Amino acid sequence: MTIVERTQVFLLPDLGEGLSEAEIVEWRVAVGDVVTVDQSVVEVETAKAVVDVPCPYAGRVVTLHGAAGEVRPVGQPLITIAPLDGGDEPAGHATYREEERAGSGNVLIGYGTGHGNAARRRRRPRLAVAPEPTDAALADAGETGGTAATAGSDRAVAALVPGPTALVISPIVRRLAREHGVDLGTVRGTGPGGVIRRADVEAALTVPAARLAAVPDPQVASAAVGDGDGDVIVPLTGVRKVIADKLSRSRREIPEVTIWVDVDATGLLETRAAINAATPDAPVSILALLARICLSGLRRFPQLNARVDTEAQHIVQSAGVHLGIAAQTDRGLLVPVLRDAQRLTTAELAAELAATTAAARAGSLPPARLTGGTFTLNNYGVFGVDGSTPIINHPEAALLGVGRIVDKPWVVDGQLAVRKVTQLSLTFDHRVCDGGVAGGFLRHVADCVERPALLIAAV
């Protein structure tokens, strides 16, 4: 048997629920490289996350199917591996895993493969240095949401490259700049050490077209820049397309209703301060307390922890609460899910919320953590707004929105006082319940916010 006949073609695996394709961000290997079982060979971006894909075969890379920026469908060839010369393989590795022989399919790093020594840690993308800045004006930077861990890595990378060069550590940022014709040398990085983040590139897109660098590819130029009036056309692709499709489907299929109420959150803030004073090593956020209150409400009103199965023509009330938390990230609005959140203590909720939202903003959550929610909590008050009519995260049946907490005049025991007031809004699927259930849930949440002792009495 020849080597050609013995080559193994690794197909792009199913990367998560409802995902049919992925875009190649960066190859970790090149033709001729020797790879081992479970070695990460490519970084891809799906509609839900950026993930490293491990190869289940060992040998020498023969073919890379697709280039950076190319979209590959699930089940299509990704990489071809041939045995090493003479048929030898790296010591301690089989050509492919027993799971592959059994037809169990390929898995992603971190999902469990049975090899104790196989590489599982996500490899940091290689540093790309853009050309020296030109004389063009620098783009104003937008806000960023990086975590402390990300900032630390940014500082380490920035220290390696002196001078005024543009620093880019994310292949997604490079691709975004390339697609829209943004010269990274004209972009001021707002990350530590001047590292350019995605928000910086997006901010640069808002400047007049005359300030954009020339784009070598005319097709790219026509896709990124509109007419001579300075309009910028952003392709509806990737995460933005998925968000648009899902929100449109929600509005098409779900007869939603939004109700709201203003509440005095002074007691909730005082309760949080008391908890944190008693447990300074395990601080609790307002979001964690609101999550705890929602869980209490869903225990009383399980009709809202549900979804409508239109094909089977029935309503499915979930046994567990898989709590979705709306999080604004550089990649768009994501809703990471805390599975079986009702089993967590308040302190565990706080820790899990902090870790999950940080991972979502860093782009390190696996696709499975972004699906399967049964109820969503959305704190849009962080954007400085009082209220909203949020769209339900399909196929869920309800979403609670929380506005900013501000000082307002409030009547307490017949006397006017200044209190911490916020607005709660509940959007619900009218197919799963009527106004009595929805109003009862929202009133329970409001009462617990105003009098946290009710929450303690209910748990």
Catalytic residues: 430
Torsions phi, psi for 13 (to 5 deg) = -80, 165
Q: What DSSP string describes 208-259?
A: -GGGSPP-SSHHHHHHHB-STT--BPPP--HHHHHHHHHHHHHHHH--EEEE
Element containing residue 132 per DSSP (H, E) = none
For residues 386 and 422, what is the distance between their CA atoms, to the nearest angstrom? 7
Q: Which tokens is 303 given?
A: 């009709």
| Rg of the chain taking only CA atoms, in angstroms | 25
Element containing residue 367 per DSSP (H, E) = none
Q: Is 447 exposed, middle or buried (0-12, 13-18, 19+ CB in 10 A)?
A: middle
For residues 459 and 439, what is the distance between their CA atoms, to the nearest angstrom? 21
Please, how many CA atoms are within 13 Å of residue 434, restricted to the half-sphere of its CB? 1
Torsions phi, psi for 273 (to 5 deg) = -60, -40
C-beta contacts of 216-221 below 8 A and 24+ residues apart: 220/178, 220/179, 220/181, 221/181
For residues 280 and 118, what is the distance between their CA atoms, to the nearest angstrom? 39
CA distances 51 to 79, 125, 167, 439, Å, are 16, 12, 22, 41
Query: What 3-state DSSP class applies to 416?
Result: strand
Q: What is the dihedral of CA 218, 220, 221, 222, to 10 degrees?
A: 90
Q: Cβ(167)–Cβ(189) under 8 Å? A: yes
Q: Which tokens is 262 given?
A: 């203003």
Torsions phi, psi for 80 (to 5 deg) = -110, 130
Q: Is 247 exposed, middle or buried (0-12, 13-18, 19+ CB in 10 A)?
A: middle
C-beta neighbour count of 276 within 10 angstroms:
15
